Amino acid sequence: MIIMSVPRFWRKQIARYNLVGTHCQKCDEYFYPPRNMCPACRRDGEIEDFKFSGKGELVTFTVIHTAAEGFEKQTPYVLGIIKLKEGPCLTSQIICDPKDVSIGMRVSPVFRKLGQDGEQGMIYYGTKFVPENARN
């Protein structure tokens, strides 16, 4: 199952692999996923790349039992919204026992496989999260 076309994934590969987002120097706001225009000052902003540490906390989550297409073999999996310590929020998976997840828990990033385009197709990697202090 193709989860995304190769060029579409490749364009944002660095952002996905290394949690590279952007920063508006004028407003001092941080963006992940990256934005090329600051929603606060719009045209006036000066945007630069910024690498996030990935430390953050879990804002909310769910345990997915009926998977998205291409994720069927991963169920049940924990999907959450993570607030990075620099401010922005993102959606990712939390790798742990669903019983151990709670709102407000601290998380750290890990480099993981997201999915695969069939037996011999492209493998997609990206950033997932684990409870802070978990051994991985």
Partner 1 sequence: MRDVAIIGVKNTKFGEQWDRSFRDLVVEAGVGAVGDAGVVGEKIDSMFVGNMSGGQFVEQEHIGALIADYSGLAKHMHVPSTRVEAACASGGLALRQGIYAVASGMDDIVIAAGAEKMTDVPSAKASSALAAAADREWEGIMGATFPGLYAMIAKMHMHKYGTTSEQLASVAVKNHHNGQHNPIAQYKSQITIESVLKSIMVADPLHIFDCSPITDGASAVVLAPADIAHEFTDTPIYVKATAQASDTIALHDRRDITTLDAAVAAGKRAYQMAKMEAKDIDLAEVHDCFTIAEICAIEDLGFAKKGEGGIMTQNGETEIGAKIPINTSGGLKSCGHPVGATGIKQAIEIVQQLRGEAGKRQVDGAEVGMTHNVGGSGATAVVHIFSRNR
Point out which residues bind partner 1 (CB under 8 A): 3-4, 8-9, 12, 16, 33, 59-69, 71, 74, 77, 79-81, 88-93, 98, 103, 114, 124, 126, 128
Which residue lies nearer to partner 1 by CB, 77 or 131? 77
Nearer to partner 1 by Cβ, of 33 and 135: the residue is: 33
Question: Exposure pattern of 104-133 as b/e (b: 16+ CB <10 Å)?
Answer: ebebebeeeebbbbeeeeeebebbbbbbee
Q: Rounded distance, CA 54 to CA 19, Å?
A: 7
Other residues' Cβ atoms within 10 Å of the Cβ of residue 13: 13
CB of 32 to partner 1, least distance (A): 9
Nearer to partner 1, 28 or 135 (CB): 28
